[in-house]
Structure formats: C-alpha cells, structure tokens
Amino acid sequence: MSRIGFIWVGKLKEPFSRDGCALYWKKLSRFFKLEESVVRDAPGKLPPADKNRKEGEGILAKLKKGDVPIILDEHGDRLTSRALAKRVLRWTDTPNRRPVFIIGGPFGLSDEVKQAAQGAIRLSDMTLPHELARLVLLEQLYRAGTILKNMPYHHD
C-alpha cells in the first residue's frame, strides 16, 4: 500500500474540522497508509515573519529521506480532481518515495519550506482558513483515490 504523509501547523480547534477530517482520514486510509505530523503553532507574541520562520523550521525538521514535499499554496498549480488523481498516482507510484502534503499556519509557509517543495497545488483561488484547507485536501485526496480505483464517487 502506498504511503501519503501530511505535515500541518497547529491542532484542529473547531469541532466541524475535527469531525470532517476524521471522516475523510478514515475513508482515505482505505487507499493509502497515512502518516501525520503536527508542528506546534509559533507563539502568538511573535511577528508574522518570525512565526513563519519558526513554524517552517518545525516543518522541515519533520521531513524524512524519500519524502516529496508538496505544499498547498495560493500560487500552486490549479488542478481538476482528475488531474490531482493523476499526480497522486505519479507521486505514490515510486517505491521508497512518499508525497508529503504541507499546510502552514494562518500566516502561510516560510520561504525555506517553499524552496524545499517539489510540488505546489492550490485548493481554490480564494483564501481558505488552514483548518478548512485540511478538510478540503483530505476530501480531494479521497476523491482522487476513488477516481484511481474507478469507484462511483466522482461525477464529471
């Protein structure tokens, strides 16, 4: 079974986020072995640039050999669900490689994390709160899994 990793900043605080993410995590785990790492939010008293730097250091420290960092970024590739499914297949098809989807905190990702990325995708042209972005990402990856398995979930 192929593996997919996730690195996120902060714990989910909203009940709807926790419930929705738990639902799609369970569904997605039918297709992939899922691994999650959570980076602590930087202290609130820090300026945004320092928060990004500190959280970025935590993100980079969680990456392992063979990881393919994929950031979620407003400037990332705009993909359809089918195009995402093709990328997921490509990212998970290589032995000893693991795509790792990275979502930053409220102030985004540090330049160092962006430079380390081997891919960047956007979930929307609109800005999403990072908790909602996690939920949307998990649902879209589940949708990609159903597309790859030819299951009746996605409709064109």
What tens digit of pLDDT does each residue of 108-139 get? Answer: 899 999 999 999 999 999 988 989 999 999 99
Full-model pTM: 0.95
How much is the mean pLDDT over the chain? 94
Fold of the 3-148 domain: Alpha/beta knot (3.40.1280)
pLDDT of residue 94: 85
What tens digit of pLDDT does each residue of 35-82 get? Answer: 999 999 998 899 989 999 999 999 999 999 999 999 999 999 999 999
DSSP states along the chain: --EEEEEEES---SHHHHHHHHHHHHHHTTTSEEEEEEEPPPPTTS-HHHHHHHHHHHHHHH--TTEEEEEEEEEEEE--HHHHHHHHHHHHHSTT-EEEEEE-BTTB--HHHHHH-SEEEES-SS---HHHHHHHHHHHHHHHHHHHTT-TT---
